Amino acid sequence: MKNDSYPTSALANYTKRILVLFAHPVPQQSEVNIFLFEDAQQLPNVTAVDVYAEYPDFNINVIKEQERLVNHDVIIFQYPLYWYSTPSILKEYQDLVLEYGFAYGKGGTALKDKLFFCAISAGGKEEAYQTDGFNHFTIRQLLQPLEQMASITNMTYLAPFALFGSRSASREDRISTHREKWTTLLNALATEHINLDRAKNIENLADLTISGANE
């Protein structure tokens, strides 16, 4: 959504349209994601959608969502990690919206060359998400089904933007820094001030060094 507080001259630098699909089953209990969602709502060239709020009965409007996807250049699934996967409505979204002939298969090129990544929070510490850690897999490994979805739909898959140890992030005063990194990343994507090769191969987009995004 366009933010009218930005001057027209500044908006001219924003060339990529970003869609944030926010999914949190209990947003009133969110300690991190709700703030990222609200920050995204304030940025030019960003459409931020609360999927649970829009479809409380899971009756997803397929045509409307396909139009949203077509009309944006960057697609982001934003959610807390639930049992090593997305909240259920994002699975429903994929099952219904990413149809054969639209997103993949014969004639299914609507998402070709769009950027896709996940913005997630995980309750466990980063060391727990290692092959020798408590969860036995890295975040990138756990997100491989979504990486394969992006591949099948011909999107460019970027590393996740992840916050670990989310349960203690507020107490440890880490949320404000994470929010700053988030808005910097979104601005960099919108203005194409980002090294896509690095963004594809880094473990965590939150660790990506970005310069010039807000110039």
**Residues 131-146 pLDDT 10s:** 888 879 888 999 999 9
8 A C-beta contact, residue 96 and residue 62: yes
Calculate mean pLDDT across residues 165-188: 83
The residue length of the chain stands at 215
Burial of 193 (0-12, 13-18, 19+ CB in 10 A): middle
Distance CA 164, CA 207 (A): 12
The β-bridge partners of 163 are 121
Which residue's entry shows tokens 């944006």? 72
Specify the CATH number of the domain 8-207: 3.40.50.360
**Whether residue 82 has pLDDT greater than 80:** yes
Calculate mean pLDDT across residues 118-143: 86
Eight-class DSSP state of 140? H
Q: Which residues of 4-14 are buried (b: 16+ CB within 10 A; e: fewer)?
A: eebeeeeeebb
Closest to 71 (Cα-Cα) out of 79, 59, 63 = 63
140 Cβ contact partners less than 8 Å away, ≥ 6 residues apart: 147, 159, 160, 203
Calculate mean pLDDT across residues 78-105: 94
Tell me the pLDDT of the chain averaged across its residues: 87
pLDDT of the residue at 170: 64
State the pTM of this model: 0.89
Calculate mean pLDDT across residues 13-34: 86
Per-domain residue ranges of the chain: 8-207
